[in-house]
Amino acid sequence: MSRETISQSISIVHPISLSHGKNAEVWDTSGKRYIDFVGGIGVLNLGHCHPGVVEAIRYQATQLTHYAFNAAPHAPYIELMDRLTAFMPVDYPVSGMLTNSGAEAAENALKIVRGATGRTAVIAFDGAFHGRTLATLNLNGKVAPYKQKVGVLPGPVYHLPYPSADNGVTCAEALKAMDRLFSVEIDVNDVACFIIEPVQGEGGFLALDIEFAQALRRFCDENNILLIVDEIQSGFGRTGERFAFSRLGIEPDLILLGKSIAGGVPLGAVVGRKALMDNLPKGGLGGTYSGNPIACAAALATLDAMTDDHLKTWGLQQEEAIVSRYQTWCAQGLTPYLGRLTGVGAMRGIELANADGTPASKQLTQLLGLARDAGLLLMPSGKSRHIIRLLAPLTIEPAVLEEGLDILEACLKQLD
């Protein structure tokens, strides 16, 4: 099958061609089976072809395949927003809008905060990833490959160190950098918002320092700055809770959603304080495909499956399996390249590092190939592509999870 018609600017991690999947397993066009620890890069928390999601899609496709909500509202959009806003673990009145993707949710959030504050500057963080559209590129805390050759990006955007026990940046260091930023680079009164991931995805599954999160919330309140939390990858049960910001003891002003919101169907959302979401003029928000009926039906089925009991059980099972196996590998001295275990809950990364602590990027590239040949799909992350991010479906069968970890163990032993 020729790929000459596909842009060569798209980077491919695994040079295979998939044909079908079921829960945490996929098969390529040659019939080879793989255990999927990529999950569509965090999209498939409920696995491939979840029965409830598939049935919802099938039924909705016989009723209404599309209508632009701006032109005439439809029931799936209305029902989903009622359910989704009720699903948000915050104490204030919530409203929101549906988008086509997480990046589009971020773009709309920027419009919303500009309209609410009359300010334009945004503070983001090193290692961040918020999308591939032009405005979100500037929010990303990494140049290569996202910002290369595209010229001046929408702004102004400033970046601060991301404090986490997983990267060694302390709360005090991040607050010191913030103090310098507002002393040297920009007037605090020009800042519209901070945008932050409670657990960085592309950055290497780094969990945000709780003390810093709470200090940041206080700072925003004191200076009339809005706080956007990006839950696009960490949300919908990835950390064992509905959303990862709950562990931080804060409430964001706006929350970005995407990836696992609709069981594999493209959908995103920005939700938050009703007064913020309603501040733009009529027609200031919307989109042709945003909140497509089929995507809404898939999202409703996703919410049906994501009860708190399910999320806790799934998250604990996966966390315990990964942490236990990692601790065993450390005790065994499985490989000299085994670094830190990052993240929280079932959102975990395994760092590969050299003896001097530098990133073992070469070995991670080797590991991707070894694992793929053995029937396991893995995804890299981190500034130096040296951290394996584990994104198996939350619904993965325990035996399949253990089989995947067995393959990972065998491949780690082979690194040179």
Q: Judge whether 138 lies within some domain.
A: yes
Q: Judge whether 13 lies within some domain.
A: no
Q: Which amino acid is at 408?
A: L
Q: Distance between CA atoms of 182 and 177, rounded to whole angstroms?
A: 9
Q: Quote the pLDDT of residue 121.
A: 97
- Whether 182 and 97 share a structural domain: yes
Containing domain of residue 87, as a range? 53-305
Mean pLDDT for the chain?
96
- Whether 334 and 229 share a structural domain: no
Q: Quote the pLDDT of residue 146.
A: 83
How much is the average pLDDT of 222-229? 98
Q: Judge whether 295 lies within some domain.
A: yes
Q: Judge whether 38 lies within some domain.
A: no
CATH number for the domain harbouring residue 334? 3.90.1150.10
Q: Is the pLDDT of residue 226 over 90?
A: yes
How much is the average pLDDT of 278-293? 95
178 near 213, Cβ under 8 Å? no
Q: Quote the pLDDT of residue 365.
A: 97
Q: Is the pLDDT of residue 2 over 70?
A: no
Domain boundary, last residue among 305, 333, 353: 305
CATH number for the domain harbouring residue 216? 3.40.640.10
24 near 392, Cβ under 8 Å? yes
Q: Judge whether 48 lies within some domain.
A: no
Straight-line distance from the first to the last Cα atom of the chain, in angstroms, rounded to the nearest whole number: 33
Number of domains the chain contains? 2
Domain boundary, last residue among 285, 305, 325: 305
Q: Which amino acid is at 304?
A: D
Domain boundary, last residue among 280, 305, 330: 305
Q: Judge whether 72 lies within some domain.
A: yes
- Whether 339 and 233 share a structural domain: no
Measured CA to CA in angstroms, residue 67 lies from 70, 293, 353 at distances of 9, 7, 50
Q: Judge whether 37 lies within some domain.
A: no
pLDDT digits (tens, 9 = 90+) for 327-384: 999 999 999 999 999 999 999 999 999 999 999 999 999 999 999 999 999 999 999 9
pTM of the model: 0.96
pLDDT digits (tens, 9 = 90+) for 8-22: 999 899 999 999 999
Q: Quote the pLDDT of residue 316.
A: 96
Q: Judge whether 3 lies within some domain.
A: no
157 near 139, Cβ under 8 Å? yes
The long-range contacts involving 86-93, CB below 8 angstroms and separated by at least 24 positions, are 87/242, 87/303, 87/306, 88/242, 88/243, 88/255, 88/271, 89/241, 89/242, 89/243, 89/246, 90/251, 90/252, 91/251, 92/251, 92/273, 92/274, 93/273, 93/274
> Residues of the chain with pLDDT > 70: what percent?
100
How much is the average pLDDT of 197-225? 97
Q: For residue 344, which phi and psi values (nearest 5 degrees)?
A: -140, 160
3-class SS at 371? helix
How much is the average pLDDT of 279-287? 94
Q: Is the pLDDT of residue 283 over 90?
A: yes
